Amino acid sequence: MKLSTEQLRKVALLARLRLSPEEESSLAMELDAILGYMDKLNQLNTDDVEPFKHAITAPNPLREDRVTNRPGTESLLANAPDRDGTFFKVPKIIE
Amino acid sequence: MSLAELTLHDAAAKLRNCEFTAMELTEAVFQRIAETEPRVCAYLTLAHDRALKDAARADETRKKLPGNGPLLGIPIAIKDNFLTKDLRTTCASKILGDFIPPYDATAIAKIRSAGAVIIGKTNLDEFAMGSSAENSGFFPTRNPWNLERIPGGSSGGSAAAVSADECTAALGTDTGGSIRQPAACCGIVGLKPTYGRVSRYGVIAFASSMDQVGPLTKDVRDSALLLEAIAGHDPADSTSVNSIVPRYSEMLADDIKQIRIGVPKEYFVSGIAAEVECAVRKAIGELEKQGAVVEEISLPYTEYAVAAYYIIATAEASSNLARYDGMRYGYRANAIDLLETYTQSRAAGFGREVKRRIMLGTYVLSAGYYDAYYLKAQKVRTLIKQDFDEAFKKCDIIITPAAPTTAFRLGEKIQNPLQMYLSDICTIPINLAGLPALSLPCGFDNYGMPIGIQLIGKHFDEPTILRVAHQYEQSTPWHKQKPKLNG
């Protein structure tokens, strides 16, 4: 296996995903097959190849640094799972 | 014949001649939806009342200002990963649930200001991750040509809606083939423009270095018209390119004599269905008859594209989808602390394929694996782009199949992610290189399922691929055939 259970759990934590035991075992197998396929890239010598940066070489479009935000506070807050007046209400973040 | 069957350009001409109103056209589309949508399941949200209001407004505008653009009063379906102000947008994910966007994506704002009528939001694979529309967090969409088969993905709802005449035209997005492959599966025209041609502002991000907005339409002229409406620089998307938008629809007429067509041998190998290869070769023969010059070419790094793509796309996705944390919008689980709130919200909100890709992307970017996977893939991406750069020194367009097979059966590949990934083998290299490409119908297999051909152009050379596609389309009967959904 390319990924041990321990590694899989570490990646899940980095990704902020809680996996069920069933998901852990199926993901381990699926990722193993996919990463195995990706090993194909190692057939290529890329020592002298520059990594890709951008598909199109165009000059950076610059614009003035001024506020152009249109949507109002209320419409942004309307989707909040929890709010208090004009604030987003979130779980306690300081221990 | 129902008004819902009309192409965009036919409907526009008839609206201009006052043969019917935008209200009548919109009502005809909703009538068609009432008949076929229970079987096709193309839409996640229908905007019936709002669409009729927009249609009434379009009719008013026409009375006051004759001689307006082709989109005025045209019913358009929108893939549900475009933000639409005040109209529920889910990206087919439970994590967005009943999200109501506070603003329009730029492409939406553009077609709305041109007078288009938004019919509703179409189904997709959750966060545009998939090739069959089966990964929707809500329900799968069916192929109008055979309800047991997938419509392709991820823009499966948009493709099925166009094919079933449940709209006049549609918008989709394409990161690895998500416009072209479903267009091929559903027997319609799908165009992925050059990266940077259309603003991505307000499109829910999947893999930002490859995502691109484009039209799904009943014919090539419609594709040109819709592209004209949405293309152009947008200050809100600094990757959108500031160059003049050609009048694509006025550049279709010229013949294609002496156009040099490259046919890459790597796209005609095992894994490509015999009937697909046969139909594509016949189509190339037809273009040769019309005076095009055909030459076999080689794109030697093709076989590495899928591996490089699924590293780069998942890496970008893992980063883009970090924003779904249940704090400012979307689903939030009730948990004991902040970390648990994050992990449980995301566990409950994301579907299987999205989790799989986030895990993969996080892994290939993680300390110790970055060089082996992500950096390696970006180097291979350079090689793939150079393949195309070399090829385009010798030819004007490149032609390949749009997908290795016709539409497969629901459930056929859903348990095998790697098999599913390989169904994008013909379209992925084009996104890696940022090129424009169009898929259009070129025949049917023995089961009556549509076959698609892909025309790939140089950066910003949409005019040439649209012209060649149009000339082919005018000499063949495929685009006129409709699925038999009655009965």
Most B CBs within 10 A among A10, A16, A63, A92, hence the mutation to make, goes to: A16
Tell me if B242 sits within 8 A of B374, measured CB to CB: no
Q: Which of B132, B136, B154, B223 is catalytic?
A: B154
pLDDT at B166 over 50: yes
Give ipTM to 2 decimals: 0.95
Residues 15-44 in A contacting B (C-alpha not used; CB under 8 Å): 15-20, 23, 27, 30-31, 33-35, 37-38, 40-44
Confidence of residue B386 (pLDDT cuts 50, 70, 90): very high
CA–CA dist B236, B213 (Å, integer): 15
CA–CA dist B95, B90 (Å, integer): 8
pLDDT at B482 over 90: yes
Over residues B307-337, the pLDDT tens digits come to: 999 999 999 999 999 999 999 999 999 999 9
Q: Of the candidates B322, B294, B283, which has an alpha carbon nearest to the alpha carbon of residue B127?
A: B322
Over residues B97-114, the pLDDT tens digits come to: 889 999 999 999 999 999
Task: Tell me how close the Cα of A77 comes to any Cα of chain B, in angstroms.
Answer: 7
Q: Which residue has the tokens 């035991």?
A: A21
- Rounded to two decimals, what is the model's pTM? 0.97
Tell me if B331 and A81 make a contact (CB, 8 A cut-off).
yes
Over residues B11-40, the pLDDT tens digits come to: 999 999 999 999 999 999 999 999 999 999
B238 — contact with chain A (CB < 8 Å)?
yes
When CB atoms are compared, the residue of A51, A52, A80 closest to B328 is A80
Average of pLDDT values for A5-31?
95
Pairing of strands B437-444, B189-192: antiparallel
pLDDT at A18 over 70: yes
Q: Which of B178, B318, B423, B439 is catalytic?
A: B178
Q: Which of B79, B121, B218, B458 is catalytic?
A: B79
The chain A residue lying nearest B355, using CA atoms, is A17
B323, HSE (Cβ side, Cα atoms, 13 Å): 11
Tell me if B95 sits within 8 A of A16, measured CB to CB: no
When CB atoms are compared, the residue of B103, B342, B344 closest to A71 is B103
Chain B residues with CB under 8 Å of A29 CB are none
Average of pLDDT values for B251-260?
94
The helix/strand/coil state of B480 is helix
Task: Tell me how close the Cα of A32 comes to any Cα of chain B, in angstroms.
Answer: 10
Residue type, B31: Q
Residue type, B328: R
List, in order, residues 6 or more apart from B132 with CB less than 8 Å away: B125, B140, B150, B151, B152, B153, B156, B408, B410, B413, B414, B420, B423
Task: Tell me how close the Cα of A60 comes to any Cα of chain B, in angstroms.
Answer: 7
List, in order, residues 6 or more apart from A60 with CB less than 8 Å away: B238
Q: Of the candidates B165, B169, B228, B221, which has an alpha carbon nearest to the alpha carbon of residue B198?
A: B228
Q: Of the candidates B72, B55, B56, B64, which has an alpha carbon nearest to the alpha carbon of residue B113?
A: B72
Tell me if A82 sits within 8 A of A90, measured CB to CB: yes
Residues 143-162 in B contacting A (C-alpha not used; CB under 8 Å): none
Over residues B455-473, the pLDDT tens digits come to: 999 999 999 999 999 999 9
Tell me if B142 sits within 8 A of B184, measured CB to CB: no
What would the two tokens of residue B231 be? 């293309």
H/E stretch holding B16: helix B8-16
Residue B66 gets the label, from left (phi > 0), alpha (psi -120 to 50) or beta, of: beta
Residue A93 has what pLDDT?
Answer: 81
Residue B123 has what pLDDT?
Answer: 98
Pairing of strands A87-88, B293-297: unpaired
pLDDT at B377 over 70: yes
Say how many C-beta atoms besides its own lie within 10 A of residue B63's C-beta. Answer: 9
What percent of chain B is modeled with pLDDT above 70?
99
Tell me if B276 sits within 8 A of B403, measured CB to CB: yes
A69 — contact with chain B (CB < 8 Å)?
no
Please give the mean pLDDT across all residues of chain B. Answer: 96
> Cα torsion at B272, B275, B279, B282 (round to 10°)?
100
When CB atoms are compared, the residue of A34, A40, A72 closest to B360 is A34
A60 — contact with chain B (CB < 8 Å)?
yes
Residue B487 has what pLDDT?
Answer: 46
Average of pLDDT values for B212-216?
98
**Residue B218 designated active-site:** no
Residue A69 has what pLDDT?
Answer: 74
Q: What is the largest CA-CA distance in chain A?
A: 58
Over residues A44-88, the pLDDT tens digits come to: 999 999 999 988 888 888 888 888 776 688 988 999 999 999 999
pLDDT at B361 over 90: yes
pLDDT at B257 over 60: yes
Residue B80 has what pLDDT?
Answer: 98
Dihedral of CA B217/B218/B221/B225: which sign? Answer: negative
Tell me if B343 and A17 make a contact (CB, 8 A cut-off).
yes
